[in-house]
Structure 1
């Protein structure tokens, strides 16, 4: 089953009283474990990649594996950029295969956060991509990655939430009601009344960052109050680290593969636990029937050129660079016919992340400029077809 629309996942979760686990991956071990957990539980999962982790892996390489793993899985899955740093980060994430993005402006002033999030939303929603905003500030405390979220908690208010959603057009909203990033001593004090008021003020799915360290009852109350996605990473990392330490203690001379051979199982066990706890287990069939599939579109142009070969090559090179950078374009490739008697000698293959990109691409100023100034003047003999992947 292909990937599914992330907004559809979260809307279903809020409407049916459960939450989708958004599980951060930082390696193939994490990826394989998270996918296996979703399949074992017959549950939805958001495979999440946080920009704050990019120093630990090559984002482009890992995304290739993430997209492949999600596309061949029977579970209803989405791929999400978490805590993106900029508009460019979101554009790049969509190009590499994310169908949900979050650019974190929570550390900015209210006006700056609203403006940044609105800009990201306008770009991403034109591609059909789900957009998460964050209002308030969730700090870190003690555990893994806590140092990446310094400062004091800033709580979200219902009035600000309603205004932010209306002004930005986000599809889901991360709110601050007392959780923290990383592990902490004791259990945080959560403001459930505030959360219920936020949920009443805006109908979109709510998101909780900093899920590690909460007790089972706390998760239940969060979900009952309108939370539809819960980000979860630190406990997965702790499970992996514990498996490695146990292997090292059992065999101090063990090599890398022996030290890590139980890591996937440890991550999968913890992922399955929270998927079941959040209420997502057993929902795959109803979600696959409810959610729109996330299918790529191939925009194919076959053409003959009236210019010399060098001029055609230069035009193609310029187009690959200009068109490949447009939001929602996953790839811009060119080619030439293998046989001399082919009806058309040249081709473009522009791969869109989804059908909504067709119109956005057609009307983008950079595409129009390239088409009018470089392509159409020498490619009058052409045909264009948009194909949906089977």
Structure 2
């Protein structure tokens, strides 16, 4: 099953009164445990990558593994970039393969939150990417991610939420109704369900719960019945993994790194399985897939011939363009190469991978692209091919756009 559009995924959950887990991951052990459990439970799933948890790691190194796991999963998967603090981080996440993003400026004033989130929405939607907004402040008292969200809880206002969604055009809203990031202070955490109902009645869009670890079954059910379609969970998984590692070391302090990790994936799977059944996503994979658009990149191919006097000039252009085109939101990869033989009709090739078909318009109207293409047109034979393709699905060629310049 393909990586799918998270808007379709959460719309199905919202309309059918269940929630999909946004499970946080920081390593391959977490990634494999989440995917394996989702397949076992036949559940759609969201891979949640939180920017604050990657301060000590290169986010770009893990994303190829995350994307590959999503594309090869037997259940619908979406990849969400959580708690980004900068606009530049959002663009990087989209270009690396995330198909949903969230800018967390919840600690800012209401007008600033609207302005900055609106800017993200404009860029992300031009790339086909879903956007989660956050209004109110979900603080934290302990836990790995809570350290980045210290402070008192600020509850989401239904009146502000309506204005916020209308102005920012976000797809989902993370609300603050009493949970915290990290570990809940007790099993009897009080949640403001009346507030949540008012927000849901006003907005009628999927709502998101941050700080989803450690609530009781009745609370989850009430949250879901009042519009929560995505529940984030990381701290509990982190605690489970840490406990298994500590136990392994206690049994023998001579254990190596791999031996210390023994049993981590299995323990994570047990907890994830529990939540998939508790939140109602288990067994929904097939019906969700029918409702979801596949998420796949498209590729622009430009091939042309070059007069000998322009070869050195184009070599310089190639190096510059690789850098500038890669900064355009939605541009994933830039490849250029010369034909191995000079005898062919075409000597120069460009292959530019875009995150989604929706990127095409914003990409081709971007100043960096226009400067690049104008230089290519000036320095090459007028007879060139400029074609954009999507991957073949179910034996059908889904060519999106073709332009042959005579």
What range is the shorter-chain TM-score in?
over 0.9
* Aligned 8 A contact 2:82 2:101 in 1: yes
User: What corresponds to 1:5 in structure 2?
Assistant: 5
Work out which of the residue numbers 356, 359, 366 in structure 1 matches 2:358. 356
Contact in 2 for aligned 1:320/1:333 (Cα 8 Å): yes
Cα RMSD, aligned residues only: 1.1
Q: Residue in 2 aligned with 1:233?
A: 234
Within 5 Å, which residues of 2 pair with 1:170-249? 170-186=170-186, 187-249=188-250
Question: Gaps (5+ residues) in structure 2?
Answer: 393-406
Aligned to 1:151: 151
Q: SS state of the match for residue 56, structure 1?
A: coil
Deviation at 1:48, TM superposition (A): 0.7
CA distance in 2, matches of 1:227, 1:266: 26
> Residue 37 of structure 1: CA displacement?
1.1
Q: Is the 8 A contact 2:138 2:210 kept in 1?
A: yes
Secondary structure of the residue aligned to 1:116 is helix
Q: TM-score, normalised by structure 2?
A: 0.94
2:344 to 342, 348, 370: 342
State the 1:241 CA deviation.
0.8
* Cα deviation, residue 281, structure 1: 0.4
Corresponding residue number in structure 2 for 1:100: 100
- C-alpha displacement at 1:341, in angstroms? 1.7
SS at the partner of 2:214? coil
Q: Distance in 2 between matches of 1:322 and 1:361?
A: 12
In the TM superposition, residue 189 of structure 1 has moved relative to its aligned partner by 1.2
- Supply the distance in 2 between the matched residues of 1:144 and 1:53 (Cα, whole angstroms): 8
Counterpart for residue 383 of structure 1: 385
1:138 correspondence with 2:138 = yes
Matched residue pairs, number? Answer: 389
SS at match of 1:386: strand
Residue deviations 1:23-57 (CA, integer Å, cap 9, x gap): 01000111111111111111111101000011232
Aligned to 2:291: 290
Tell me, yes or no, if the aligned pair for 2:302 and 2:385 is still in contact at 8 Å.
yes
Task: Find the aligned partners of 1:184 and 1:160 in 2 and give their Cα distance.
Answer: 26
**Post-superposition offset of 1:258:** 1.0
Which residue of 2 is the match for residue 276 of structure 1?
Answer: 277
Could you list the runs of 4 or more consecutive aligned residues of structure 1 that deviate by over 4 angstroms after TM superposition?
A: none
**Does the 8 Å CA contact 1:143/1:184 hold for their aligned counterparts?**
no
Q: CA deviation at 1:368?
A: 1.6
Aligned-pair CA distance for 1:250? 2.0
Displacement of 1:321 in angstroms is 1.1
